[in-house]
């Protein structure tokens, strides 16, 4: 058998105005876990979609087990042993976990009817064998967190006994625990002989799990390296084409008077007497594990959820925020972590997304100011390097990371006085991450108050002037700039160090 299970030769793919792939090369060794990295819009997802039959390449060859193949469509890819878990999840929300795992080939009884009993038993076995004991095989997909849905998708590939498994940024929506489960699944699959292509912007993960790494830039092949023989700095340099020095900016703005005060906020079981203060000029980090209440707290401040008791003050005056519209009127902006469901209008253009979130600002005498919104969009396209031929392109045509940048632009262009951000740089490449942090800090310097939630510890530490830790719905600790370190945060967020 040949050493490479898969070879991609000179793959080219053009979209109107964009050469997404330009004679791209890729070789996957049998039994390898091979990382594919590159900046947002480099062409990673497009290459994988060519491989899985979503797109037909304009030119180039796909060679599977030494033989050239044509992949007609995703089902055909699956038949050939190529399974993919997409960056944008495409689960059927009303199906159960079992049905989702067995979408195309459910077990059937003699009458040809779907044999639910066998199917559920099979799925239970798969879930248990990967340590996923807390997921009910009969649960509806929509009741699962995005991370759990993602893992179910992966298990679907497991069930189909894929030869090649492609994971396109699986961890950007996963919690730490879910990431651990995923890594375990990958290792097991790999031992069973599955070759894996792994896409991620979290370089630490590549060093943890992959043996080989290929870097691409602007649709082109750049280099393939042994993970053992490289380092993070080298990868970043090949990806971005320059050295990136991290300057998150903690402690560099002048912190002034109180801007926002939350007192004894309670919401169901999720928030218990939460109190905190945010100052002008300050970036406040919220640390905590999954379920600690961080997102709920932001949602209460933004009027998505109505707290059952407690008080919120802005500039010393009590406010009653009953809806996101009211929150916006108070100068609050909120960037959710679930960009697909709660943030973007995928079928609208970049420019109109920015308009939609700023209708109040861009309406004059009853007329919408399309040109003004377009100008804003142009400005942010430049600032965040949103990769697109023009701002009239639909958001759905952007790469994942570039969609996140549009979401950020939608909110930042309001120039709020209080900015709440849940996972600001999820799915964003290293170079742009730097510019986003730079921008957040520049807003703080102008007097804005920012609250950041991030599961990326270096990011949280690097960006925050102060950190408030939460544990099981309560504030469990607070760290001033000079006391911030990873161990203390871990202790406070796991309830070990209650002050
Ligand atoms: N269906 C499409 N129509 C038009 N352009 C597209 C389409 N899909 C992708 N593109 C463009 O092709 C380029 C490569 O996108 P791709 O999604 O492959 O990037 P990526 O490397 O996966 O980035 P990310 O890290 O942000 O996910 C981008 O410029 C993107 O806007
Ligand atoms: Mg992508």
pLDDT in tens, 194-205: 999 999 998 889
CB 360 within 8 A of CB 330: no
pLDDT score recorded for residue 191: 92
Work out which ligand 1 atom sits closest to the CA atom of 47: 18
Which of the given ranges, 199-208, 305-314, 350-359, 378-387, has the highest pLDDT on average?
305-314
Mean pLDDT of 74-89: 86
Work out which ligand 1 atom sits closest to the CA atom of 44: 21
Q: What topology does CATH give the domain 258-493?
A: Rossmann fold (3.40.50)
Q: Taking the domains of the chain in order of start, what are their residue ranges? A: 4-240, 258-493
The CA angle 212-215-221, to the nearest 5 degrees, is 115
- 12 CA distance to ligand 2 middle (Å): 17
- 15 CA distance to ligand 1 middle (Å): 9
Q: Lowest mean pLDDT: which of 53-62, 125-134, 438-447?
A: 125-134
Q: Is the pTM of this model over 0.85?
A: no
Q: Is the pLDDT of residue 176 over 80?
A: no
- 283 CA distance to ligand 2 middle (Å): 29
Q: Is the pLDDT of residue 365 over 90?
A: no
Query: For the chain, what percent of residues have pLDDT higher than 70?
Result: 96
Q: Is the pLDDT of residue 92 over 80?
A: no
- 60 CA distance to ligand 1 middle (Å): 18
More confident call, 452 vs 182: 452
Q: Is the pLDDT of residue 243 over 80?
A: no
- 388 CA distance to ligand 1 middle (Å): 9
Residue owning the nearest CA to atom 29 of ligand 1: 41
pLDDT interval class at 423 (50, 70, 90): confident
Q: Which residues line ligand 1 (CB under 6 A)?
A: 15, 18, 20, 38, 40-46, 87, 387-388, 397-402
Give the residue, out of 24, 38, 43, with the most ligand 1 atoms within 8 A of its beta carbon, to mutate for a pocket test: 43
What are the distances in angstroms from CA 4 to CA 26, 30, 32, 34? 10, 5, 9, 12
String of b and e for 142-177 (b: at least 16 CB within 10 Å)?
eebebbbbbbbbbbbbbbbebbbbbbbbbbbbbbee
pLDDT score recorded for residue 153: 85
Rounded CA separation 449/47 (Å): 41
pLDDT score recorded for residue 91: 62
More confident call, 485 vs 497: 485
- 398 CA distance to ligand 2 middle (Å): 9
Q: Cβ neighbours of residue 387 under 8 Å, at least 6 residues apart?
A: 40, 41, 398, 399, 402
pLDDT score recorded for residue 17: 85
Q: Are domains 4-240 and 258-493 of this chain identical in fold?
A: yes
The tokens for 324 are 């996101």
pLDDT score recorded for residue 88: 67
Mean pLDDT of 375-400: 90
Ligand nearest to the CA of 43: 1
CA neighbours closer than 13 Å in the CB half-sphere of residue 109? 7
pLDDT score recorded for residue 312: 97
pLDDT score recorded for residue 340: 64
CB 150 within 8 A of CB 200: no
Per the DSSP assignment, residues forming a β-bridge with 335 are 421
Q: Is the pLDDT of residue 408 over 60?
A: yes
pLDDT in tens, 284-297: 999 998 789 999 99
- Element spanning 18, H or E: strand 18-29
Q: What topology does CATH give the domain 4-240?
A: Rossmann fold (3.40.50)
Nearest to 192 by CA among 160, 221, 215: 160
pLDDT score recorded for residue 427: 82
pLDDT score recorded for residue 495: 79
Ligand nearest to the CA of 46: 1
Q: Beginning with the edge strand found earlier in the chain, give each strand of the sheet holding 332-335 in spatial order.
A: 332-335, 418-422, 449-453, 283-287, 466-471, 474-480
Give the residue, out of 239, 399, 427, with the most ligand 1 atoms within 8 A of its beta carbon, to mutate for a pocket test: 399
pLDDT interval class at 428 (50, 70, 90): confident
Work out which ligand 1 atom sits closest to the CA atom of 429: 25
pLDDT interval class at 1 (50, 70, 90): low
Q: Is the pLDDT of residue 252 over 80?
A: yes
pLDDT interval class at 341 (50, 70, 90): low
């Amino acid at each position: 058998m040949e050493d490479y299970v898969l070879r991609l030769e000179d793959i080219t793919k053009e979209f109107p105005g964009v050469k997404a792939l330009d004679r791209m090369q890729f070789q996957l060794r049998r039994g390898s876990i091979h990382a594919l990295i590159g900046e947002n819009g480099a062409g990673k997802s497009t290459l994988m979609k060519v491989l899985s039959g979503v797109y037909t390449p304009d030119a180039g060859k796909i060679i599977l087990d030494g033989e050239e193949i044509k992949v007609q469509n995703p089902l055909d890819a699956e038949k050939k042993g190529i399974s993919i878990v997409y960056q944008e999840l495409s689960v059927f929300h009303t199906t159960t976990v079992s049905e989702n795992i067995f979408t195309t080939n459910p077990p059937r009884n003699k009458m040809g009817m779907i044999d639910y009993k066998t199917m559920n038993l099979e799925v239970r076995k798969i879930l248990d064998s990967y340590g996923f004991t807390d997921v009910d095989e009969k649960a509806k997909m929509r009741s699962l967190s995005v991370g759990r849905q993602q893992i179910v998708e992966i298990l679907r590939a497991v069930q189909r006994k894929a030869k090649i498994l492609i994971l396109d940024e699986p961890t950007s929506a996963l919690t730490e625990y879910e990431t651990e489960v995923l890594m375990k699944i990958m290792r097991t699959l790999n031992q069973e002989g599955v070759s894996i292509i792994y896409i991620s912007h979290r370089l630490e993960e590549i060093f943890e799990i992959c043996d080989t790494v290929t870097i691409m830039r602007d649709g082109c092949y750049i280099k393939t390296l042994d993970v053992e023989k490289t380092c993070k700095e080298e990868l970043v340099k090949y990806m971005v084409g320059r050295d990136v020095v991290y300057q998150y900016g903690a402690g560099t703005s002048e912190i002034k008077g109180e801007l926002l005060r939350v007192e004894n906020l309670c919401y169901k079981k999720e928030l218990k007497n939460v109190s905190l203060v945010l100052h002008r000029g300050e970036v406040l980090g919220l640390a905590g594990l999954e379920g600690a209440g961080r997102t709920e707290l932001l949602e209460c401040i933004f009027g998505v959820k109505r707290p059952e008791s407690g008080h919120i003050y802005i500039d010393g005056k009590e406010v009653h925020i009953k809806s996101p519209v009211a929150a916006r009127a108070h100068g609050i902006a909120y960037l959710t972590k679930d960009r697909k469901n709660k943030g973007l209008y995928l079928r609208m253009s970049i420019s109109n997304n920015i308009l939609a979130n700023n209708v109040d600002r861009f309406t004059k005498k009853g007329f919408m100011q399309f040109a003004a919104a377009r100008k804003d969009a142009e400005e942010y396209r430049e600032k965040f390097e949103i990769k697109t031929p023009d701002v009239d392109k639909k958001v759905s045509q952007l790469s994942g990371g570039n969609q996140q940048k549009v979401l950020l632009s939608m909110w930042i262009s309001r120039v709020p006085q209080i900015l709440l951000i849940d996972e600001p740089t999820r799915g964003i490449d290293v170079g742009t991450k730097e510019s986003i942090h730079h921008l957040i800090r520049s807003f703080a310097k102008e007097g804005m108050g920012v609250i950041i939630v991030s599961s990326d510890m270096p990011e949280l530490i690097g960006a925050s002037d102060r950190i408030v830790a939460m544990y099981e719905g309560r504030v469990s600790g607070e760290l001033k700039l000079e006391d911030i370190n990873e161990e203390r945060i871990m202790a406070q967020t796991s309830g070990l160090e209650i002050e």
